Amino acid sequence: MVVRESLAKKIAWISLISNIILTAGKIIIGWLGNSDAVFADGIHSAADVVASVIVLLVIKISNKPADKEHPYGHGKAEVIVSGVVGILLFLVSLYVVYEGIDGFFHEVELPSLLAVWVALFSFVSKVILYRSSLGVAKQHNSKAIEAIAFDHKADIVASLAAAIGVLLSILGEKFDVMLLLFGDKVASIFVAYLIFKIAKDMLTEAFDILLERNINNETLQEYIAIINDFPEVKRIDRIRAREHGHYILVDLRISIDHFKTIKEGHDLAKSIKRRLMDQFDNIEEVLTHLNPYFQEDT
């Protein structure tokens, strides 16, 4: 837990500092360089700054062990953060698309070449940040760090699109191609779409976890295969598993021979729990209910 929390904080701080630098650069250059696409990308990075601050505030809470008031732990704190970030990104996408469309009804101002270089620098930075953040998120199954990684992912394509849009506008001016002059505006709308898509994915996952949707069937079948390896298990009556932030809780009902003692049933449940947790390090708890099995049940 300590290592996980330490890494999460490190990723969040790196993300925060880098996003502050990129936000300032893209907003200033986008504004002064007449680039809606780069400015929009800067607004997105500003949302990333807010996301990183929220993550830093919630990491300690999500890693707290279960207590009397929260017997299932505090893992959902990360899910709530992911949902908040998703809402922020959704609002940002609406703002960016509005500004992009509005630009079609005003005189086009040629963006600066410096805006291209700022967007390309952001692209390279975000590729590095995305890969490192996602690696840590997968290794420690952290929804909060995953949210940061998804923010970086949106910025990767957004920054590249912004650079292309600015470049097209400059080429449109140079070669007198009127249609290309709107490249920057089109790029800003495309950036808005990318931000919206990431926001939708994050909100969908957050709602699924908060509403305790069952985990994907493929993983559930892997659980079932492990449980069926125990010859004492005559039948799996019911199995459910739900994400609780960075860990999973499993509810299991199995039937065993009716003449088995309470101790035998307890030992079996304990063995199943140990096997599942050994195979899947993100399983936090396995609650097993035993039903009596009679031969005529078949």
* Residue reference for tokens 């680039």: 35
Distance set, CA 81 to CA 202, 241, 265, 280 (Å) = 10, 22, 40, 25
More confident residue, 181 or 65: 181
Residue 221, token pair as written in the block: 């079948």
State residue 246's pLDDT score: 66
The mean of the pLDDT values for the chain is: 84
171 plus 138 within the same structural domain = yes
Owning domain of residue 247: 217-297
For the chain, what is the domain count?
2
Least confident of 34-38, 212-216, 288-292: 212-216
185 plus 243 within the same structural domain = no
DSSP symbols for 79-133: HHHHHHHHHHHHHHHHHHHHHHHHGGGS---PPPHHHHHHHHHHHHHHHHHHHHH
At residue 222 the predicted structure's pLDDT band, cuts being 50, 70 and 90, is very high
CATH number, position 113: 1.20.1510.10
The Cα–Cα gap between 35 and 115 comes to 7
7 plus 50 within the same structural domain = yes
Of 210, 236, 256, the domain-final residue: 210
**pTM tops 0.85:** no
79 plus 178 within the same structural domain = yes
265 plus 147 within the same structural domain = no
The Cα–Cα gap between 155 and 46 comes to 11
The Cα–Cα gap between 253 and 259 comes to 17
State residue 284's pLDDT score: 86
153 plus 36 within the same structural domain = yes
State residue 72's pLDDT score: 62
CATH number, position 276: 3.30.70.1350
277 plus 227 within the same structural domain = yes
Contact 47, 15 (CB under 8 A): no
281 plus 203 within the same structural domain = no
Residue type present at position 225: A
32 plus 151 within the same structural domain = yes
156 plus 13 within the same structural domain = yes
The Cα–Cα gap between 219 and 225 comes to 10
State residue 164's pLDDT score: 92
The Cα–Cα gap between 52 and 155 comes to 14
Least confident of 75-84, 156-165, 238-247: 75-84
State residue 70's pLDDT score: 67
Of 210, 242, 272, the domain-final residue: 210
State residue 104's pLDDT score: 82
At residue 15 the predicted structure's pLDDT band, cuts being 50, 70 and 90, is confident
The Cα–Cα gap between 290 and 292 comes to 7
Contact 75, 245 (CB under 8 A): yes
Give 67's DSSP letter.
-
pLDDT in tens, 237-270: 999 998 876 688 999 999 999 999 999 999 999 9
Tell me the three state secondary structure of residue 236: strand
At residue 231 the predicted structure's pLDDT band, cuts being 50, 70 and 90, is very high
67 plus 117 within the same structural domain = yes
pLDDT above 90 covers what percent of the chain? 31
More confident residue, 210 or 28: 28
154 plus 29 within the same structural domain = yes
**Pick from 16, 143, 10: nearest CA to 74:** 143
Of 210, 234, 265, the domain-final residue: 210
**pLDDT(173) > 90:** no
Long-range contacts of 256-261, Cβ-Cβ distance < 8 Å, separation of 24 or more: 256/232, 256/290, 256/291, 256/292, 256/293, 257/232, 257/292, 257/293, 258/292, 258/293, 258/294, 260/232
